[in-house]
Amino acid sequence: DAMVIQNPRYQVTQFGKPVTLSCSQTLNHNVMYWYQQKSSQAPKLLFHYYDKDFNNEADTPDNFQSRRPNTSFCFLDIRSPGLGDAAMYLCATSSTGGETQYFGPGTRLLVL
Amino acid sequence: SQQGEEDPQALSIQEGENATMNCSYKTSINNLQWYRQNSGRGLVHLILIRSNEREKHSGRLRVTLDTSKKSSSLLITASRAADTASYFCATERNFGNEKLTFGTGTRLTIIP
- State how far Cα B58 lies from the chain centre: 13
Asked if residues A91 and A4 have their Cβ atoms less than 8 Å apart, the reply is yes
Phi/psi of residue A58, nearest 5 degrees: -60, -30
**Does the beta-carbon distance from A42 to B98 stay under 8 Å?**
no
Of B40, B42, B104, the CB nearest to A103: B42
- Residue with the bigger pLDDT between A96 and A79: it is A79
**Does the beta-carbon distance from A94 to B98 stay under 8 Å?**
yes
**DSSP secondary structure letters along A34-56:** EEEE-TTS--EEEEEEETTEEEE
Our CA-based measurement puts residue A15 at a distance from the nearest CA of chain B, in whole angstroms, of 23
**Does the beta-carbon distance from A104 to B42 stay under 8 Å?**
yes
* B11 part of contact set with chain A, CB < 8 Å: no
Give the list of residues 6+ apart from residue A70 with CB closer than 8 angstroms, or none: none
Nearest C-alpha in A relative to B32:
A99
- pLDDT tens for each residue of B54-69: 999 999 999 999 999 9
Asked if residues A75 and A64 have their Cβ atoms less than 8 Å apart, the reply is no
CA distance A94 to A100: 6
* B39 part of contact set with chain A, CB < 8 Å: no
Rounded mean pLDDT of B68-93? 96
**Does the beta-carbon distance from B42 to A4 stay under 8 Å?**
yes
- A interface residues, B as partner, C-beta within 8 Å: 4, 6, 31, 40-45, 48, 50, 88, 90, 92, 94, 97, 99-106, 108
CA distance B66 to A108: 36
Exposed/middle/buried for B103, CB within 10 Å: 0-12, 13-18, 19+?
A: buried
Rounded mean pLDDT of B95-109? 86
Give the list of residues 6+ apart from residue B101 with CB closer than 8 angstroms, or none: A45, B1, B2, B3, B4, B25, B90, B91, B93
Nearest C-alpha in B relative to A31:
B98
The count of other CB atoms within 10 Å of the CB of residue B58 is 11
| SS3 track for B27-92 | CCCCEEEEEEECCCCCEEEEEEEECCCCEEEECCEEEEEECCCCEEEEEECCCCHHHCEEEEEEEE
- pLDDT tens for each residue of B11-50: 999 999 999 999 999 989 989 999 999 988 899 999 999 9
- In the prediction, which pLDDT does A1 show? 66
CA distances from B12 to A40, A41, B18, B61 (A): 16, 19, 11, 17
